[in-house]
Amino acid sequence: MLPDRDAAEEVAQELAGRFGVTDEPQLVRDALAGEDDAEDAQWLVVVDDPAARLDPMVLDDFVAEYEGWLEAP
């Protein structure tokens, strides 16, 4: 979960080089409850990891660099 689209796009681009993610991550806008304004939206970067090869703690530290946090499915 990231604070804005710019941060989400940067994270999505960094995933390949930093973690070897080969599938393009999906960016999803998550509007806050009751808010219609795009300024009040957070963004999710959805990464498929069926083999569970990505360390959740490392990912959480990574997105924290962009003022975000990891949300497990």
What was the pLDDT predicted at 51?
A: 85
Which two tokens mark 37?
């304004």
Q: What is the pTM of this model?
A: 0.82
Task: Write down how long the chain is.
Answer: 73
Q: How far apart are CA 8 and CA 11, in angstroms?
A: 5
Helices (H), 1-73: 5-19, 56-64
**Which of the four pLDDT bands, split at 50, 70 and 90, describes residue 31?**
confident
